[in-house]
């Protein structure tokens, strides 16, 4: 996707003049989101904890219609977050969209998670999202009379064994977006949570246990993992004027995984019923 200067979905110049912040833009969903916004003409100001992956994204963004700049930032630290937005506003004079994509977790049985480990995940996913959102609102959106906050969370919502810390954190972010959509509507601010299911990112494919990776597609009703550009397209749609009436909701993008784990009908039922499609999708 990154080698094209044109979006596969949207018209050229759709986001000309928009200034967008994307956190966690050094890899995965954040990287592809930043690139898609730049393809559509936006000025993208990216941040992340490490310089090297951000610089790689910058190389991929070179030559795209929009512009791309980046800065190392720990979103859990209030003063650096404030300076980040102060510098952005000094350079560009406005901010239109904040994409809270940065986050993180680790796979662990609940009984093995230490208080420190739990706090680390909460600080990154909840406190970091709050600091970025609050700074964007108070420094840019409220003074200028509007803006959009899109915060990436997780699907499924029916409990994620091995991820109790992340489940708690992402539920907090979703409620944060719902609450702020009401409280800050008077300032023209719209807030939406984007619950991402299993996407075939490098992190998922290389950092998670192989048994999880091997069974990933069989756990998703449509039979495949998401592609990072599919999340980027959703973000671009919401950033555009087409997304102006979305606020206070959670949009789930997960191939129906939020509703059911695996194909339907299940293997045993499909065998009895002679379902040829289900038979084709059986593990070999």
In this model, does residue 156 exceed pLDDT 90? yes
12: in domain: no
2: in domain: no
In this model, does residue 71 exceed pLDDT 60? yes
Question: Omega before 265 cis (within 30°)?
Answer: yes
265: in domain: yes
129: in domain: yes
CA 49 to chain centre: 16
Q: Are 218 and 284 in contact (CB under 8 A)?
A: no
In this model, does residue 283 exceed pLDDT 60? no
Among 26, 28, 3, which residue's Cα sits nearest to residue 44?
A: 26
Domains identified in the chain, total number: 1
214: in domain: yes
Q: Are 283 and 263 in contact (CB under 8 A)?
A: no
pLDDT value of position 4: 82
Give residue 130's domain range: 19-280
In this model, does residue 270 exceed pLDDT 80? no
94: in domain: yes
247: in domain: yes
pLDDT value of position 162: 86
123: left (phi over 0), alpha (psi -120 to 50) or beta: alpha
- 150 forms beta bridges with 99, 192
The two three-digit tokens of residue 282, written as one number: 């059986």
Binned at pLDDT 50, 70 and 90, residue 216 comes out as: confident
Binned at pLDDT 50, 70 and 90, residue 1 comes out as: very low
4: in domain: no
pLDDT value of position 264: 86
**CATH for 175:** 3.40.50.720
| Average pLDDT of the residues in 1-20 | 89
In this model, does residue 271 exceed pLDDT 60? no
Residue count of the chain? 284
pLDDT value of position 240: 98
In this model, does residue 281 exceed pLDDT 70? no
| Average pLDDT of the residues in 38-48 | 98
In this model, does residue 19 exceed pLDDT 60? yes
């Amino acid at each position: 996707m990154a080698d094209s200067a044109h979006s596969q979905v949207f018209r050229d110049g759709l986001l000309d003049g928009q200034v967008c912040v994307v956190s966690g833009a050094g890899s995965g969903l954040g990287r592809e989101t930043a690139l898609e916004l730049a393809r559509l003409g936006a000025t993208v100001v990216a941040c992340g904890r490490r310089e090297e992956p951000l610089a790689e994204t910058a190389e991929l963004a070179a030559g795209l219609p929009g512009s791309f700049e980046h800065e190392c930032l720990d979103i859990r630290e209030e003063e650096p977050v404030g300076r980040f937005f102060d510098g952005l506003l000094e350079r560009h004079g406005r901010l239109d969209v904040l994409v809270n994509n940065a986050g993180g977790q680790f796979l662990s049985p609940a009984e093995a998670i230490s208080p420190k480990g739990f706090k680390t995940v909460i600080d990154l996913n909840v406190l970091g999202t709050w600091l970025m959102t609050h700074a964007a609102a108070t420094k840019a959106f409220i003074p200028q009379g509007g803006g959009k906050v899109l915060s990436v969370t997780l699907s499924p919502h029916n409990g994620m064994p091995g991820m109790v810390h992340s489940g708690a954190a992402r539920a907090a972010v979703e409620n944060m977006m719902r609450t702020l959509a009401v409280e800050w509507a008077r300032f023209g601010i719209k807030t939406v949570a984007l619950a991402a299911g299993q996407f075939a990112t490098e992190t998922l494919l290389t950092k998670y246990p192989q048994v999880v990776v091997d069974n990933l597609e069989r756990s998703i009703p449509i039979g495949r993992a998401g592609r990072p550009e599919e999340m980027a397209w959703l973000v671009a749609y919401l950033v555009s004027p087409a997304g102006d009436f979305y606020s206070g909701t959670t949009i789930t993008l997960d191939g129906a995984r939020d509703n059911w784990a695996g194909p339907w009908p299940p293997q045993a039922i499909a065998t009895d019923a002679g379902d040829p499609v289900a038979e084709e999708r059986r593990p070999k």
